[in-house]
Amino acid sequence: MVKDLSVNLCGITLKNPVIPASGTFGFGLELGDSFDLNVLGGISLKGTTLEPRYGNPTPRVAECASGMINSVGLQNPGIEALVTDKVPRLRDIYDGCIIANISGFSIDEYRTCCAKADACEGIDIIEVNISCPNVHGGGLAFGTSPEAAAEVTKAAREVSRKPLFIKLSPNVTDIVSIARACEDAGADGLTLVNTFLGMRIDLAKRTPVLANKMGGFSGKAIFPIALRMVYQVAHACKIPVMGCGGVSCADDVIEMMMAGATAVQVGAENLRNPFACPEIVSALPETMQRLGIQNLKSIIGIV
């Protein structure tokens, strides 16, 4: 029997819930010759800032058991390159949901980038990363307080007609309060979680492995914590959630959806296996058959 993998995300129909997470899939173009991108439910593009950024000094990546730590530093070509080059080229070969991931270091930068993304015809959803430091607010990440998260959300909402998702940081005491603040400020949806803060030390050199000392910890090891946060937020808010964090197989996708996620992003697993997402999509019907699931929409938030 044919299984229904489709989901509805803020009025946009995705053929399946599987979406490569921002920062792990480039702009989609890099893998366009390796497999048919149209098997994917959506693509969250590399995090983009107002101006081009080279990123942090190297080394930027440290391996860990069941995961990795990165401190790439939002290397990207800037918002103009995104809307005038990257998105139009991707739209030529991809008919699914294109998600622009926007980062900023001030409210004005978020507002400007979101306005440009909103005006770009090929972009379907705007995803705002609030894990960036507020350079005008003492350097704390916007996503670490409900007030700052709401301020970014409100600024993005003012210039965005397209569905607006806020990507939450897990490096907080109470993620539900921040999620609710974003919902109250006008977010259409939430993406969670971003990476956890981690560190490795080179024992021989007696120095941190990363030039930036600390970075974002991701991979299979964070899945249970990410799942818990998705469950908490999905049951506390009325807007849809894209679950992310340690997802590496079809079973993980089902688990995230049962916890409350409408769509599921795959992150670090793409860096280990560039074909992870199409393999997960391919495995979903058999997994659904094994679990007695006819359509994925029926399991969202059933736990």
Q: What is the CATH number of the domain that holds 209?
A: 3.20.20.70
- What's the domain count of the chain? 1
Residues serving a catalytic function are 132
Q: Which domain holds residue 120?
A: 7-299
Residues 6+ apart with CB under 8 A from 34: 274, 275
Q: Is residue 1 part of a domain?
A: no
Q: Is residue 61 part of a domain?
A: yes
* Cβ–Cβ under 8 Å, residues 215 and 208: no
Amino acid 141: pLDDT: 83
Dihedral, CA of residue 224, residue 226, residue 232 and residue 234, to nearest 10: -120
Mean pLDDT score, 208-226: 97
Q: Is residue 105 part of a domain?
A: yes
Has residue 135 got a pLDDT over 60?
no
Question: What span, in angstroms and rounded, lies between the C-alpha atoms of 197 and 143?
Answer: 13
Helices and strands of the chain, counted as H and E runs: 9, 16
* Cβ–Cβ under 8 Å, residues 89 and 29: yes
Q: Is residue 2 part of a domain?
A: no
Q: Is residue 93 part of a domain?
A: yes
Q: Is residue 121 part of a domain?
A: yes
Q: Is residue 119 part of a domain?
A: yes
Q: What is the pLDDT of residues 14-68, one digit of tens each?
A: 999 999 999 999 999 999 999 999 999 999 999 999 999 999 999 999 999 999 9
pTM of the model: 0.97
Question: What DSSP line would sit under 25-53, residue for residue?
Answer: STTSGGGTTTS-GGGSSEEEPPPB-SS-B
Read off the pLDDT band of 132 (50, 70, 90): confident
